[in-house]
Amino acid sequence: MLNSRIPTRSLTQSLIIVVCMLFIAVTTGFSAQRNNSLTSDPIVVILSSESKPFQAAAQSCVTTLKSSGHTTRIKLLSSLSEQDLASMQGTVVAIGARAAQSALKDLPESTKLYYCMVTSPDLIGLTDRPNTAGISSDANPIEEARLINQASSSFRTIGLFYDSSSASSRSRIKRVQDSLTGSLRLEIVDINAHNSVSDAIKELLARDIDLIWTIPDPAVYKPAMVKSLLIESLKKRIPVYGFSHSIVRAGSTFGIGIEPTTQGARLSTLINSNATDQHLSPRLSVAINTVVASRIDFKFNDRFLDNVEKTFGSD
């Protein structure tokens, strides 16, 4: 009589074959699903303008995204209507404050929004939006206060400007006030309380201050204001802390800046990790102007000089 049972070895081999086939089918499906998620919905990168810093940040971000398998499209904000933004799904990247504000206003809430090169994203409302992450372009005042203390032990009284008619300006000055520790004291001048910016500058420079701390406040620091402040502070031999490399290059004694390419690369990391509700401070690049420092006879602490990445005036 023939044995009708299937041999144990054959049954085991059959089960192994079935399991392997199922594994291949499942992993192939996952792979296809992943590839579709990377390529079917292009990430739209919106530039506030064609300025070189925005373009550099966008290109840095796009390069890394493409190497990770994403497809991207770069658009100028001026080329998009409110309806265009309202119809966008998937992931959108905003480069600069204007693009971020428009995206915040018009994008569907379900669309993921990433941003960089944006000053004070919390004041715009980006930190309150769901499905949002990004990198601000303004430094944490606590970090800046630490840098100022490192630059020279002679700083005791710090001068600042603000505009009382601007809510964002009032918020920015409060952040600086809240960041101060130790022996630093503030002397604050409201430009809105004066007939002209020139009068406001004269008042602050007439006070007993050791340094002027500029902050990225568009209500205050318009080009004419910056130029006048740098000229008058040089005459009075009062050092100025600049909030950007361009201001340090133009004539502030020292300051900080950001690298747009670094902002773009860091943003791509947030996107690739599918991050939400992460709002990061920028990585700061410390700069000094040796010509200005020499003219006002200002000496930096040696420990501070170890942090300097850019030197203007040395050539």
Three-state SS letters, the chain:
CCCCCCCHHHHHHHHHHHHHHHHHHHHHHHHHHHHHHHHCCCEEEEECCCCHHHHHHHHHHHHHHHHCCCCEEEEEHHHCCHHHHHCCCCEEEEECHHHHHHHHHHCCCCCEEEEEEECCHHHHCHHHCCCEEEEECCCCHHHHHHHHHHHCCCCCEEEEEECCCCHHHHHHHHHHHHHCCCCCEEEEEEHHHCCCHHHHHHHHHHCCCCEEECCCCCCCCCHHHHHHHHHHHHHHCCCEEECCHHHHHHCCCEEEECCHHHHHHHHHHHHHCCCCCEEECCCCEEEEEHHHHHHCCCCCCHHHHCCEEEEECCC
Fold category of 41-137+260-280 in CATH = Rossmann fold (3.40.50)
CATH topology of domain 141-257+284-312: Rossmann fold (3.40.50)
The mean pLDDT of 245-272, rounded to a whole number, is: 96
Q: Which residues contact 283 (CB under 8 A, 6 or more apart)?
A: 258, 259, 262, 266
pLDDT level of residue 313 (50, 70, 90 thresholds): confident
Q: Is the pLDDT of residue 44 over 80?
A: yes
Predicted pLDDT at 179: 84
Q: Each residue of 271-298: pLDDT tens digit?
A: 999 999 999 999 999 999 999 999 999 9
- Residue 180 pLDDT: 81
Q: Is the pLDDT of residue 26 over 80?
A: no
Name the percent of the chain lying above pLDDT 70.
87
At residue 118, the pLDDT reads 96
277 phi-psi bin (left φ>0, alpha ψ -120 to 50, beta other):
left
Report the pLDDT averaged over residues 211-220: 95
Among 27-41, 99-113, 185-199, 258-272, the least confident range: 27-41
CB neighbours (10 Å) of residue 286? 21
Q: Which residue has the higher pLDDT, 312 or 6?
A: 312
Give the predicted TM-score (pTM) of the model: 0.79
Query: Among 11-25, 64-78, 117-131, 195-209, whose mean pLDDT is lowest?
Result: 11-25
- Residue 15 predicted with pLDDT over 50: no
Q: What is the pLDDT of residue 12?
A: 52
Whether residue 194 has pLDDT greater than 50: yes
- Asked if the domains 41-137+260-280 and 141-257+284-312 are classified in one and the same CATH topology, the answer is yes
What pLDDT is attached to residue 40?
Answer: 57
Q: In whole numbers, what is the pLDDT of the chain averaged over residues? A: 89
Q: What is the largest CA-CA distance in the chain?
A: 116
pLDDT, average across residues 10-26? 48
Q: Where do the domains of the chain lie? A: 41-137+260-280, 141-257+284-312
pLDDT at residue 312 greater than cutoff 80: yes
pLDDT at 65 over 80: yes
Model confidence at 10, pLDDT cuts 50, 70, 90, reads low
Q: What pLDDT, in 10s, does the model give residues 114-169?
A: 999 999 899 899 999 999 999 999 898 999 999 999 999 999 999 999 999 999 99
